[in-house]
Amino acid sequence: MDIPTFLYAPAATLFGVSVSVCLWILNQRRKELSYQVLHADALVNVKGEAKRRVEIRFDGKPVEDAHLVVVTVTNTGHLPINPGDYQGKLAICTNPGSSILMADIIGTVPGDLDERLPQENGQRSLIEKIQKDKLILQPVLLNEENSLSIQMLVKNYAGKVTVSGHVQGVRAIRQASDRTILPGMLTQLGAVTMAAAMLFCGPDALVHLQLEAIVPYLLLFLLGYVLLCAGTYLPRKPAHWLSGIGQ
């Protein structure tokens, strides 16, 4: 299949523009903070008559409808978030009417993240305090891909968790699952483009090195490769080492 020579220039232009756009996307230096609810499991999954006969106690007091909720907060941007960037402290909030009975830090990346905090009363804690349905975190330096995971025991949990706070340079603290479509689309488009370039390029042109027949498909293949790389390296939903907890 021969490509008319007048299409070479538009093809080269399209390739150049695509490369420029993809490189611009890959090199964006942005500040971003996101969160992910890893697990939200009821402590007791008994239903019917048996549910009224099973009792859970916390600190000696009966607790009904208690859930174990695990939330991770991650710096998914390219720039560090410094303690001075917090215009308001980060808060993990559950639905109105719920109560956070207790909370613990069950993992951080890096493992000594709490070492960045000043020592008070002989200890360091990334959790400042609990206010009914709100957990307040201490401002801490978060470099790229740094994260902390919090396990909470929540009473009257209704399936809602948000992370609030104001961080300089961060438009909004988003849930990680909101950003999964574009990388996958770019990866698939790149793979299809590369396959199409290899499929339509005639073997005779490769054997005899017929440049006029090879160049358009080579540009198409390179375009697919750039799209594939863009989709691969764009931020995705964080794959966290704690994702196996509770399974």
- pLDDT of res. 55: 76
Q: Mark whether 121 and 15 lie in a shared domain.
A: no
Query: Residue 86: inside a domain, yes or no?
Result: yes
Mean pLDDT for 23-40 is 80
Query: Residue 41: inside a domain, yes or no?
Result: yes
Q: Which of 169, 190, 206 is the last residue of a domain?
A: 169
Condensed to tens digits (0 to 9), the pLDDT of residues 36-55 reads 999 899 887 777 777 677 77
Q: Mark whether 208 and 99 lie in a shared domain.
A: no
230 vs 106, which has greater pLDDT? 106
Copy the structure tokens of residue 13.
Answer: 């232009």
Q: How confident is the model at residue 243 (pLDDT cuts 50, 70, 90)?
A: very low
Q: Mark whether 102 and 193 lie in a shared domain.
A: no
Q: Mark whether 48 and 163 lie in a shared domain.
A: yes
Q: Mark whether 205 and 218 lie in a shared domain.
A: yes
Q: Mark whether 48 and 24 lie in a shared domain.
A: no
For residues 208 and 4, the answer to whether their CB atoms sit within 8 Å is no
Percent share of the chain, pLDDT over 90: 36
Taking the model in full, what pTM does it have?
Answer: 0.67
Q: Which residues contact 100 (CB under 8 A, 6 or more apart)?
A: 94, 130, 132, 133, 134, 135, 152, 153, 154, 155
CATH number where 102 lies: 2.60.40
For residues 62 and 56, the answer to whether their CB atoms sit within 8 Å is yes
Per-chain mean pLDDT for the chain: 80
Q: Which of 169, 189, 217 is the last residue of a domain?
A: 169
Q: Mark whether 129 and 217 lie in a shared domain.
A: no
Q: Mark whether 100 and 161 lie in a shared domain.
A: yes
Query: Residue 92: inside a domain, yes or no?
Result: yes
**Residue 121 belongs to what domain range?**
33-169
Q: Which residues contact 136 (CB under 8 A, 6 or more apart)?
A: 89, 90, 91, 127, 128, 129, 130
- Cβ-based neighbour number of residue 32 at 10 Å: 21
Query: Residue 239: inside a domain, yes or no?
Result: no
Condensed to tens digits (0 to 9), the pLDDT of residues 105-148 reads 999 999 999 889 887 766 788 999 999 999 999 999 999 999 99
235 vs 15, which has greater pLDDT? 15
- pLDDT of res. 7: 60
Condensed to tens digits (0 to 9), the pLDDT of residues 185-226 reads 878 888 888 888 877 776 665 555 566 667 777 777 888 888
Q: Is the peptide bond before 110 cis (omega within 30 degrees of 0)?
A: yes
Q: Mark whether 40 and 158 lie in a shared domain.
A: yes
Copy the structure tokens of residue 184.
Answer: 């996958």
- pLDDT of res. 240: 43
